[in-house]
């Protein structure tokens, strides 16, 4: 993958809590140990921050509850939803504080919590932000994980930091253009070239403003790009001082039409 510059808590387990906590999202938010709601599970030792994103392409198994070491971490998460940001206010931090060490996230069907969809193992590193994506599941295939380490350093003055995570198996390798709205793709240089499936770019500096994000098959001839756009984010407003992750994805049952969604990192 090549890049070109852009112009212009632990969740420390408390076994006394029971799974009845699922009954109230407000309690769920406290259990997650978000930065907005201190509670008995707020980590007191070395900790990192964790975000979970549901990208399961299966309508039967795709709506899930996320359980982090026997404690609620997210409830009734549909396709592209993340936790803890999907929780009811004020528990809307982008990440949850989790004690460092080896962790296990169990995904269960919301409609039948006796059914385990997947178990995802990951390691929390002190002072590190991590996003865990649950991917796959179309046509009964296995649900697996893709993980990123999120560098949430503050942008330079007047700038934002943007990256792209390619999680559309249908798209294959792609060229990604982040341009002024309506810019001619025939004369544009790919912002990210030949990006493979399950690849996360580094964070790219971007001046505050409004942009268009388009994705075409890798190597598409310049004159053919406009007619080959597989994903089009027609207008994306970027504010100075923020961090954003643009995720390229299949639709909620897998395959086309492809789509993109944006995660707020900071």
- Tell whether 43 and 97 lie within a shared domain: yes
What are the strands, taking DSSP E only, across 1-46? 2-3
CATH number of the domain within which 117 lies: 2.60.40.1120
Residue 175 is encoded by which pair of tokens? 């060229």
| Residue whose C-alpha is closest to residue 158's, from 245, 239, 235 | 239
Answer yes or no: do 234 and 246 share one domain.
Answer: yes
Q: Which of 150, 167, 201 is the last residue of a domain?
A: 150
169 with 136, same domain: the answer is no
Query: CA of 4: how far to CAs of 56, 109, 142, 189, 197, in Å?
Result: 32, 42, 35, 8, 19
For residue 243, the cross-strand partners are 161
Residue 240 tokens read as 């100075």
9 located within any domain:
no
Q: What is the pLDDT of residues 213-237, one digit of tens each?
A: 999 999 999 999 999 999 999 999 9
Do 103 and 138 have their domain in common?
yes
104, 121 Cβ separation under 8 angstroms: yes
pLDDT at 32: 39
Tens digits of residue pLDDT in 83-104: 987 776 666 789 998 989 999 9
For residue 251, give the CATH number of its domain.
Answer: 2.60.40
Asked if residue 8 belongs to a domain, the reply is: no
pLDDT of residue 72: 86
All residues at 6 or more sequence positions from 261 whose CB lies less than 8 Å from its CB, including other chains: 80, 246, 247, 249
Domain that holds residue 23: 19-150
Whether the CA torsion 89, 92, 97, 98 is positive or negative: it is positive
Distance CA 177, CA 215 (A): 6
The set of residues, in sequence order, having a beta carbon less than 8 Å from that of 226 and lying 6+ positions away, is 184, 185, 186
Q: Are residues 98 and 202 in the same domain?
A: no
Count of domains observed in the chain = 2
Per-10-residue mean pLDDT for the chain, 266 residues long? 45 33 37 34 78 95 91 92 78 85 94 95 96 95 97 96 98 98 98 98 97 99 99 98 98 97 96
């Amino acid at each position: 993958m090549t890049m070109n510059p852009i112009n212009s808590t632990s969740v420390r387990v408390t076994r006394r809590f029971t799974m009845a906590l699922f009954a109230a999202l407000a309690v769920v938010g406290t259990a997650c140990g978000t930065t907005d709601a201190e509670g008995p599970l707020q980590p007191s030792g070395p900790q990192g921050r964790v975000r979970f994103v549901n990208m399961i392409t299966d309508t039967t198994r795709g709506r899930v509850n996320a359980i982090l070491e026997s404690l609620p971490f997210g409830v009734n998460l549909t396709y592209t939803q993340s936790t803890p940001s999907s929780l009811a206010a004020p528990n809307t931090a982008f990440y949850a504080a989790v004690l460092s060490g080896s962790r296990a996230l169990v995904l269960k069907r919301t409609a039948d919590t006796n059914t385990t969809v997947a178990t995802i193992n990951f390691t929390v590193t002190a002072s590190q932000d991590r996003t865990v994506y649950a991917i796959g599941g179309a046509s009964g295939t296995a649900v697996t994980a893709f993980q990123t380490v999120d560098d949430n350093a503050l942008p330079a003055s007047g700038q934002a930091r943007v990256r792209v995570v390619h999680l559309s198996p249908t798209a294959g390798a792609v060229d990604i253009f982040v341009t002024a709205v309506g810019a001619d793709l025939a004369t544009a240089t790919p912002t990210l070239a030949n990006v493979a499936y399950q690849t996360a770019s580094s964070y790219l500096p971007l001046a505050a403003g409004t942009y268009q994000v388009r994705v075409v098959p890798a190597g598409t001839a310049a004159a053919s790009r406009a007619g080959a756009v597989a994903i089009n984010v027609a207008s994306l407003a970027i504010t100075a001082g923020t961090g954003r992750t643009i995720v390229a994805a299949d639709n909620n049952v897998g395959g086309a039409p492809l789509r993109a969604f944006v995660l707020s990192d900071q």
